[in-house]
Every structure is written in structure tokens, then in C-alpha cells.
A and B are shown apart, each in its own frame.
Chain A
Amino acid sequence: METIKVQDVAVNDLPWRIEYHAERCTRCGSCVASCSFNAIEVVVQRQSMTVSEQNQPSPVRRQLALAIIKQKKDLAYMCRGCGMCERVCPNNAIRPVRNPDDRKALLSRDNGPIKRGGRTNLNAQRTLDSIIVGRISQMTDPALDSVRHTFDIRAPFGRVLSPRELPLTVSGDKLEMAHRTPPVRWIYPLIFSDMSIGALSTRAWEAVALATAYLNEKCNLPVRMSSGEGGMPVKLLESEYLKYFIIQIASGHFGWNRIIKAMPHMVTDPGGILIKIGQGAKPGDGGLLPEAKVAEHVQAIRGVPKATLSSPPNHQGLYSIEESVQKMHLSLNAAFGFRVPVAVKCAASATSVAVYHNLLRDPYKICGGFFIDGIQGGTGAAAEVSLDHTGHPVVSKIRDCYLSAVRQGLQGQIPLYGGGGIGLTGNAAADAFKMICLGANGVFCGKVLIQLLGCIGNEKGRCNACNTGKCPTGICTQDPRLVKRLDVDRGAQKIVDYVLAFDKELRKLMAPIGNSSLPVGRSDALVSTDKAVADKLGIQYVC
């Protein structure tokens, strides 16, 4: 009997197993070439066969040496289930199959915590799916016609003053503005959320940027895209298109050197500034760009050498919310002459309401938006323990913040944007609509965009290899051979088409509840089939 070393990793320890049909395989080698994770290899296998080729039985035993495709028994080269081999195989001879008995979580901590990208795989529950748009306008209060009527689908981005604070003076029968008010931009209620160049391949980032510009210029939808930490190409900073972008500043301040240098050459103001304090996928954890992904152009944009780039978990020097307001908000507001709204993004947390209160009460009135990022948000790289075990769902958090503003009569003054799992099941319009009814002014999404570009990762452990630099779809890697797999134009077109459908679907939801402008806070339009959800959110329970 052969000796078995049970500590050795076996194929049946891995999360995905390769189902290979040697009899269909023509040995073209395409699968091996396409596997960016090096998870499969060509090996020569000895086979013995007994054949009989005469009229009478005359069995002969033959030894054959056959080339076959075999999965590697190595955690470093484990199959990610991305399915590229299956896509490329002309004969349906190979495909990955999920292994229900995998032991990866146990075995792969030899070099410290498990790292990966994607979303939480543990807390992907869908509160929004137990909520239905249940108040339908009929009879005396007729529904609108989603095609015939006009809809005003815009959300504020910027600090809104309370009516009594407005610098309006009466002159005759007209009101006049005595002085200007904080900048507010009315934008499309779907923001393309911050994914940096670095986390994404430049080409993938470009595809999203291209879609943004197209939606603005050709479709009249003022969609804004957040740059993500790490800056933007100088050419874009100095172009007219800058107005469609929200520039992000995160705790590493990466890229700001170049942004500041570009400022005198800017021909227009950016769409906004987003101070990133935290991220829903890995709250309390800084940004992480593994060395493998710090390619030359990333080094150039960020102004860094080739090394793993870790942003600290917090902005150094900010000890309190007041300070954050004074230092960061004020200086960023001042940098653009108080013409550009400055918003802040935090990970959803048990303390979000307190943070929102402080922002609402800030005497300078310079926080132009509160972005709450829930646990179901995606990331390019994080420790799995953070992804799966830290964070806070965003749905009830948006509701809590909205209602706490209502209690003080301050709703709408700092626009609320919710993200983290918007479009998790592909239905971003329904998710957005429900979030808006619960009190959000708009939503932001990221993962769904790269999924439109071609990312095949999901919340059931498929791929999630964004941290490796080996993204099989060319989205999350700087490897030029992999990036070639991404067709930028077709990717951008996919995003544009999706947003156009999103817009139509929003109308389809606004029409039956009889609203031509966004139903922010219209919780009466929602019902839930889950009693606990209904009670928590203060909406009707139905069954």
C-alpha cells in the first residue's frame, strides 16, 4: 500500500475541482494557456489498456503514454473557478466544479491571514429583496405613465441649507440672493463608486470613465464617477471631462501630489471631492495595493516605487469628527474656492448615526454628502477575515441616519448616499429605488460595474482573486497580456446600456407610486414580507 501523507494538500481539499474529459480533449492546450492562476498543467499519464484486434480473442496489454490536463494540488496554484478554461475549450472537455468538502479555509493560513478581493461571502443576505414597492397609486391618485410623463431623476450633491438659513431677501415681489450658498450639484442618483487605477487595470478604469462621459454627453444623464484613491491621469485632470469626476482623497493621500500640480491647469472644476474615511468591505482597514499590481504607470500616477502600498486605517492627524470637518473639509473646500462640493465616505457602522449628527451640526456647513458603505461592498484586496466578519449592513443604517435627521428636522441637508451591495443580484434599479424610499438621496456602486465589464467573481467564492494581479478578465490586473482580454469599448457600452435600462426601470417604479421626482424618504411606498425587517425600518409588514 502506498504511503499517504495526510498533511499533503490533495485536490479534494481545494474549493474548486476540475472536471476533465480526456476522451473529448484534443490536447490543444488552450485551457492551460488561458489559466492565469496556473492551476492546471499538461502531464503525461501512463495508461494500460487491453486490446484485441484479431478475429478470435487475442488480448494484448498495451502501455500508453497520454498527455492529459491535470489540476495542481497546491494552494498557491489552486483553481479559482473562473471558468476561463471552460470558455476557451472547443470541445467542452474541461470545467471547474465547486467542491463542497473543501478545506481551504483551514489549510491556507500558513503565510498569515488569507487575502482576497471581491465581496463578503458570508454576509450576502438580501434585506432589500424582502422589501416590495407595495403602495400602488390607483383610482383617485392615478399612476403616472413611465413612458409618456417626464421624470425628474436627480439627486443633490452638496450641502443644502435649511430654508431659514437661505440668504434670500425680498425685493418687490421677487426674492434675491444676498450672497452665494454652498455649492450643490444635481446629479444622477447613481454614482460610479471609487475604484482606483491600480486596483483596476488602466483599461478597465478607462472603460468606466468612457461610459461616464458617454452617459453625460450623449444620454443627458449626469452620472458621476469617483476616481478612487491614487489619482487620475493628468490628461483627464486637465480636460473638460473633469467635471464628471469626483476626485477621492483617502488616508494614503496617493496621487494628490499630481492633482495639486494639475490644479492651475484645470479648465473646469471637478464634480466633487470625496474624502474616504472608511470602506464597507473592510472597515477600519486601510487601502491595500499588493506589489504585484503596482505596475509602472501606477507608480507614475501615485508617485511611488514598486512596493505594496498600504494606506493607513485612518487619516493621520484626525482625532475627531470636528477636526475632520475643520481640517480636511475646510482645506479641500478652500482648495477649489468653495465651488466644489466635498463629501465624506464612511463604512457603515453602529456609530454612523453619531457621525452623521456631528456632520449635520457642523457650523461651517461644508460637508456636502455622507456616503455610507455597507458590508456588501467590494474591494480589490483585503484580509478575508475583514471581508467576511467586519462591517455593517447599509440598509438599516441609511434608514437610521435619515430618521435621526427627520427627528431634528434636518433631513435633506447633508445628502445621504448608500452603497455596498447595490445591484448584488443584478437589479440595481430596484435596490436604488428602495434605498431612496428609505431615505437615501442616491446610491453608489462599483462591483456591478466591473461585473458588467466581464468580472465573473461572485459571493460564493468564485474567483475573488482581485488581489493577485492575475485577474482572468483583465479588469483587476496590470498584466498586459490579461488586460488584452478586456474590450474597452464593448465594456463601456455594457455599462451605458445597463444605466439606460436602470433609468427606465427607475421610471417603472416611480410611475406606479405616482411620483415624478425621486421619492426620497417615501417609506410609505414600501412594504416588507419580513416582520423583523418591517419593524426595524418602520414600514408595513405584509404577508
Chain B
Amino acid sequence: MRQLSRETIDQLQRLAAVYKETNERLMEVLLEMQKLTDNCFDRETLGVVSDAMGIPESKMYDYITFYSRFSTEKRGKYIIRMCKSAPCHVCGAREVARSICDYLEVEPGDTTDDGLFTVEFCECIGLCESSPSVMINDETYSDLTPDKIRGILDYYRKEVSP
């Protein structure tokens, strides 16, 4: 099993303290935490978090596995979330999704071998007027075509994470 570094544990505990004080914005705090831990809450991470938050592990696990933005398995540095709701679908989302998967040589749900990208489907992300749309971590990209998305992926590969 992976071992969290002392520094990561400290950071997690600091974030947990923020939540514990207010009992608010659990979702935001957890999303923030997830960035520190390979985009996932594995057993070790959830153990640290539930202990620090004073919430039983079983309840945290219930919460984490309910929302698709969280994962209990290690994911890539960038999570590509491809909208598959109706408006995007009729505007060519399927072609965009195919081209993402082909270009990265993965199937939806998988992580690339270099650990850079995880490709997932999601429901509407609220950008229907300029569909098809995807999210890459916190950034959104709209009016996509197969060509355009390949350019964006190249940008992530080279520029953001050389």
C-alpha cells in the first residue's frame, strides 16, 4: 500500500480542521484534499481524513463513493470528464469522446500508463449552449471537435506538465 508523506498528512489534517470548525462545505474540502492524494481516497487516505474530521470511515466511504467526482482508486494527474448528457450527445460528444480515448489509448474509466490522464464520463456540466464540453480538472472546454480536443491534450502533455 502507498504511504502518505508526513507533509501530505499534515496538509490533510489542516484541511480537516477547517471543516471540523465550521461543519460546512464538506464537498469543497474533500475536493481540495483529493488534489493532494493522486485524485483518490484510498484506504489509508480515508483513514487519515475520517480520523481528523471525526466522521466514521463508513460514512465517509458512503459519501465518497456516491459522488463521481471522487474515487477510491488511484487516478491520473488530470481527470478528463466528458459530458454525455443529451445536449452534448446530439452535438457530437460521442466523436469527441472517441477521439480522446483513441488519442490517449485508453478506455473510459482508465488511466494512461504515464499516470497523466484519467478519462471518465459525467453528466451535464452546465455548458450546454456551447456543447460538446469536457472538464479537465477544474478547467472547462467547450465547442469541441475531435481535432480541437487533441490540441488541448497536447497542450496538457507538453505545456502544463512537460
User: Do these two chains really belong together in a complex?
Assistant: no
